[in-house]
Chain A
């Protein structure tokens, strides 16, 4: 492939992934209220446009038009950097996700993954661990006790659950034998979904993903009854919007990562029987991945409007005393299963 085509193709892919991320995050806010309405036997937003589908646009206009306040006692530079960093780290994860196999036009092969780095999982994990800074910086720079408390809650929660998340990923790496996200997705063709191989690991990962995105039942950082608004108490206008938006992007990315790691990614069993053209097959794969992602996002909302919030000590107990021992047990069991022939040989002799 010529260098110019390569650059243009990668640029188009980057812009496309960014745009899709933004649109999905935008409509997640609408979906959240519709799902909440459905679960509470209400209608949800229905005024702006048919079925209220223009509601996110109206919200965006409202956020842009609001007065922008920067507290005079705050640290101004860091106050602005905080939400920007949150949004930046939320958008960075889409790079290593395989959105589909590959399309071929004019004799060239175009992979639907922006960068297939051989340490993709670690890259994802690194970006997640950097994500704490946006919240911490914003909470501290506001110079407000409630913001600081919210920021500290958020970061201690994220650090605690990162450990269990990392350990559950290690068991996944042991069975797949690769750190590349593209290869993990490719390995799960047919019914070889990782959830069937790693059910406990998948459960731990999903619970940790809820905690990492700071969503209910783990939304301690912004619990209104105790902290006014959490780390973004002092924020208004679009800077507040950035924080809220970053949360929805994180939810979308979490759903994507869960589908790619454990639910087969773009693979769907039996599809090879009906569709034979490789380009259509790739596009079907993209559609299946997004169907899985949308179900994941719906699951996030379903849980939010069903379960009550944890108390802070319960949250820490769950993280450190339940999930981490369970994920270590998962690693040991996985290792024992992989070495079962050797272990059996020892006993037979």
Chain B
């Protein structure tokens, strides 16, 4: 019962903070609201018994990536004068495109109700032992491939960041 209330409370907060990310005028405020959104999503992970995922989500997104975002935005010191003004045609086409997107989403979610989960819900699946077993036994190849992808991205960033390439 309490988890249901918590779910609604967290969902309300998540949607509210996500809206504030878009609606707030100050980019620094937007970043801070995004951090709060990540916290509420981490709360959802805890409700699903995935504590490991929740903590890693906070460490990686709120603790590392958003700090870098905040860094860049603070240094750029954006304000109203430097904000580019979009033409009304662009806003009009954006409204139409997002409206179409909404219809597609509604259409695809309409049939989603009949899907039944193949595996019964396991309360311990989010614990780190089970996650490790799952990653290193069942999904070893995708795991290693994605780590190579990250390595390639890192090497690429270092290459681009270098001043001169001999």
Contact = CB atoms under 8 A, between A and B. Distances in A.
A31 interface: no
B75 A152 contact: yes
5 contacts: A118-B128, A119-B51, A125-B55, A128-B63, A140-B70
B75 A122 contact: no
Nearest to A117: B51
Interface stretch (A130-138, A257-265, A296-304): A130-138
Contacts of A156: 71
Nearest to B70: A136
Contact of A133 (B35, B51, B127): B35
Contacts of A78: 28, 32
- What DSSP secondary structure best describes chain B's contact surface? helix
Contact of B128 (A119, A125, A148, A152): A119
Contact of A119 (B28, B55, B63): B55
A159 interface: yes
A154 to B, nearest CB: 11
Interface residues on B, range: 20 to 34
A155 B67 contact: yes
Nearest to A173: B128
A122 B59 contact: yes
Contacts of A136: 67, 70-71, 74
Contacts of B26: 75
B51 A118 contact: yes
A122 B67 contact: no
Contact of A129 (B32, B52, B59, B71): B59
- What DSSP secondary structure best describes chain A's contact surface? helix
Interface string B58-95: 11001110011011001100000000000000000000
Interface string B126-154: 01100000000000000000000000000
A155 B58 CA distance: 17
Contacts of B52: 119, 122
Contacts of B62: 129-130
Given A148-B74, A151-B74, 12 more contacts: A75-B26, A119-B128, A122-B52, A123-B55, A129-B62, A130-B62, A136-B70, A136-B71, A140-B28, A155-B67, A155-B71, A159-B68
B55 A126 contact: yes
B74 A140 contact: yes
A126 B54 CA distance: 10
Contacts of A162: 63-64
Contact of B63 (A75, A117, A129): A129
Contacts of A129: 58-59, 62-64, 67
B59 A125 contact: yes
Interface in B93-115: none
A130 B74 contact: no
A117 B51 CA distance: 9
B59 to A, nearest CB: 5
B73 to A, nearest CB: 9
Contact of B71 (A117, A126, A128, A152): A152
Nearest to B73: A140
A198 B35 CA distance: 35
Nearest to A123: B55
Interface in A103-130: 117-119, 122-123, 125-126, 128-130
A23 B128 CA distance: 36
B30 to A, nearest CB: 13
Contacts of B67: 129, 132-133, 136, 155, 159
Contacts of B19: none
B56 A122 contact: yes
A151 B26 CA distance: 19
A35 interface: no
Nearest to B67: A132
Contacts of B75: 152
B69 to A, nearest CB: 11
A125 B57 CA distance: 12
Contacts of B128: 118-119, 179
A133 B36 CA distance: 12
A132 B28 CA distance: 15
